[in-house]
């Protein structure tokens, strides 16, 4: 049997292992990692190949699942055809798609070639919650791999040049953002945590759409802010950088392990204007960021299993918790201060509907237009950062001013 034939058998075996859980397990990526760890013969290139094939299966699950029952070989061929053309997949795709036409870039063209329905690739509820997601070009973006965006800790020209020079020496091509000078897309599959730039705290992995949330708000240097749902601190570090050394960020989260990771990252970045809170805040702040926990439909490019494990009931439950967070932390905004609400959800139920409900009962707040919109899609309140606009994940942000 050829190498590509053997790889196909392994792929189908991996598919069989995860199939019982792929419409129910929101922690499916961890199961995939466990499968890779159990196969000690897998090298890094093998893992990259099978990860791409499995994630492609999940992205196009309604097209692939029926074929697995009737013609597994055809199912595997279809996955190979749909998979991204990467160094790890190229030989495999060439062997299994030898007689296939090149895979077109749009979902509509792929559906036409396979005589399948493009609409089946998204759950019905998302098309109701975010109609733009079901249409090109966002539908196309949602069915491609997420890019790897980095945020340089400074836009200082010599420092930026040093980071880019290190990547160039490693053979890693990059693309600078046209509107954020310290946002860089890495155009190679690479582990930036092994670089000197990472060890020196010069960069963080952060999606461009995530960076736009705070950049849209025109953060004033020297202010005091609370990051109320800081997690491991991606936006906390960005906020601390925007505020400058005269400003300060207090970070809070219900997960101690995440806050410990934040402290490690802050130390590596050399940021001394971050304090991790051990108890709920009791003071007021110039601004509060609520990067609210959500169902994550904006992250489906990198977490396609969530398309099939997320339910409308979970969306509604998340919206209730998000509204409660806004109500809880609104008391900590000083008069004249701002409340920034953000999610990585595409659903209006978790986005503008939550903010509208909050404003209806907290009349001391008013919605403000963004300082910079970056061509994002305006909502009744706030902005939706859709995946196709800047090749990012999907996000929502709203800025509220306390009277």
CATH number at residue 215: 3.40.50.150
Q: What is the pLDDT of residues 128-167, one digit of tens each?
A: 999 999 999 999 999 999 999 999 988 788 888 999 999 9
Residue 157 forms part of a structural domain: yes
As a whole number, mean pLDDT of residues 22-36 equals 96
pTM (predicted TM-score):
0.96
- Cis amide linkage into residue 137, ω under 30° from 0: yes
Do 181 and 237 lie in one domain? The reply is no
Do 116 and 188 lie in one domain? The reply is no
Q: What is the pLDDT of residues 202-260, one digit of tens each?
A: 999 999 999 999 999 999 999 999 999 999 999 999 999 999 999 999 999 999 999 99
Which of 166, 187, 206 is the last residue before a domain boundary?
Answer: 206
Which of 190, 206, 222 is the last residue before a domain boundary?
Answer: 206
Q: What is the pLDDT of residues 304-341, one digit of tens each?
A: 999 999 999 999 999 999 999 999 999 999 999 999 99
List the beta bridge partners of residue 276.
251
Residue 133 forms part of a structural domain: no
- Cis amide linkage into residue 25, ω under 30° from 0: no
Report the pLDDT value the prediction gives residue 176, as an integer from 0 to 100. Answer: 92
Residue 336 forms part of a structural domain: yes
Do 277 and 176 lie in one domain? The reply is no
Q: What is the largest CA-CA distance in the chain?
A: 72
Report the pLDDT value the prediction gives residue 159, as an integer from 0 to 100. Answer: 85
Do 386 and 312 lie in one domain? The reply is yes
Q: How confident is the model at residue 383 (pLDDT cuts 50, 70, 90)?
A: very high
Structure tokens at 44: 């890094």
Residue 77 forms part of a structural domain: yes
Domain containing 184 — which CATH number? 3.30.70.1170
Report the pLDDT value the prediction gives residue 156, as an integer from 0 to 100. Answer: 81
Burial 245-283 (b: 16+ CB within 10 A, else e): eebbbbbbbeeeeebeebeebbebbebebbebbeeeeee
Q: What average pLDDT does the structure give for the chain? A: 96
Do 241 and 388 lie in one domain? The reply is yes
List the beta bridge partners of residue 366.
401
Residue 130 forms part of a structural domain: no
Do 44 and 167 lie in one domain? The reply is no
Do 363 and 375 lie in one domain? The reply is yes
Q: How far is CA 314 from the centre of its chain?
A: 19
Return the percentage of the chain with pLDDT > 70, whole number: 100
Structure tokens at 43: 């090298």
**Distance of alpha carbon 67 from alpha carbon 205, whole angstroms:** 37
Q: Nearest Cα to 104, choosing from 123, 87, 88, 85?
A: 85
Write the CB contacts of 102 (distance below 8 Å, at least 6 apart in sequence): none
Structure tokens at 271: 């940021």
Do 181 and 164 lie in one domain? The reply is yes
**Distance of alpha carbon 128 from alpha carbon 120, whole angstroms:** 14
Structure tokens at 81: 């055809």
Do 116 and 264 lie in one domain? The reply is no
Report the pLDDT value the prediction gives residue 155, as an integer from 0 to 100. Answer: 75
Residue 136 forms part of a structural domain: no
Residue 57 DSSP symbol = H
Q: How far is CA 283 from the centre of its chain?
A: 32
Beta strands in 104-215 (DSSP E): 148-152, 174-176, 183-186, 203-205
Write the CB contacts of 10 (distance below 8 Å, at least 6 apart in sequence): 39, 50
Dihedral of the CA atoms 287, 293, 296, 299 (nearest 10)? 50
Query: Helices (H) and strands (E) in the chain — how many of each?
Result: 18, 13
Whole-number CA gyration radius for the chain? 22
Q: Characterize the bridge pairing of strands 274-276 and 203-205.
A: unpaired
Do 220 and 172 lie in one domain? The reply is no
Q: Which domain holds residue 269?
A: 209-402
As a whole number, mean pLDDT of residues 61-77 equals 97
Do 234 and 340 lie in one domain? The reply is yes
Which of 156, 172, 206 is the last residue before a domain boundary?
Answer: 206
Q: How crowded is residue 219: how many other Cβ atoms within 10 Å of its Cβ?
A: 23
Total number of domains in the chain: 3
Q: How far is CA 143 from the centre of its chain?
A: 13
Do 159 and 218 lie in one domain? The reply is no
């Amino acid at each position: 049997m050829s190498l590509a034939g053997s790889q196909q058998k392994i792929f189908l075996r991996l598919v069989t292992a995860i199939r019982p859980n792929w419409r129910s397990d929101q922690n499916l990526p961890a199961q995939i990692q466990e499968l890779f760890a159990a196969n000690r013969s897998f090298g890094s290139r093998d893992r990259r190949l099978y990860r791409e094939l499995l994630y492609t299966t999940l992205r196009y699950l309604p097209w692939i699942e029926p074929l697995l029952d009737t013609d597994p070989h055809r199912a595997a061929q279809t996955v190979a055809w749909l998979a991204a053309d990467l160094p790890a997949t190229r030989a495999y795709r060439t062997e299994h798609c030898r007689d296939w036409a090149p895979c077109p870039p749009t979902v509509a063209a792929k559906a036409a070639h396979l005589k399948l329905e493009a609409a089946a690739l998204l759950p019905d509820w998302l098309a109701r919650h975010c109609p733009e997601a079901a249409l090109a070009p966002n539908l196309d973006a949602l069915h491609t791999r997420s890019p790897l965006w980095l945020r340089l800790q400074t836009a200082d020209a010599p420092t930026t040049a040093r980071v880019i020079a290190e990547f160039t020496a490693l053979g890693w091509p990059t693309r600078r953002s046209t509107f954020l000078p310290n946002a860089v897309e890495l155009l190679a599959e690479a582990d930036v945590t092994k670089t000197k730039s990472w060890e020196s705290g010069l960069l963080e992995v952060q999606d461009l759409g995530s960076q736009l949330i705070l950049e849209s708000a025109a953060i004033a240097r020297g202010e005091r802010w609370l990051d109320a749902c800081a997690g491991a601190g991606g936006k906390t570090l960005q906020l601390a950088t925007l505020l400058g050394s005269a400003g300060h960020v207090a970070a809070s989260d219900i997960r101690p392990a995440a806050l410990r990771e934040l402290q490690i990252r802050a130390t590596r970045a050399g940021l001394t204007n971050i304090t991790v809170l051990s108890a709920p805040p009791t003071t007021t702040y110039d601004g509060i960021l609520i990067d609210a926990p959500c169902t994550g439909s904006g992250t489906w490019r990198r977490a396609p299993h969530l398309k099939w494990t997320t339910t409308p009931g979970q969306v509604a439950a998340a919206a209730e918790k998000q509204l409660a967070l806004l109500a809880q932390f609104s008391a900590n905004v000083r008069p004249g201060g701002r409340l920034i609400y953000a999610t990585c959800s595409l659903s209006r139920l978790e986005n503008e509907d939550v903010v509208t409900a909050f404003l209806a009962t907290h009349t001391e707040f008013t919605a403000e237009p963004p300082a910079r919109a970056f061509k994002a899609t305006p909502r009744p309140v706030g902005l939706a950062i859709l995946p196709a606009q800047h090749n990012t994940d999907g996000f929502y942000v709203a800025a509220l001013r306390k009277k």
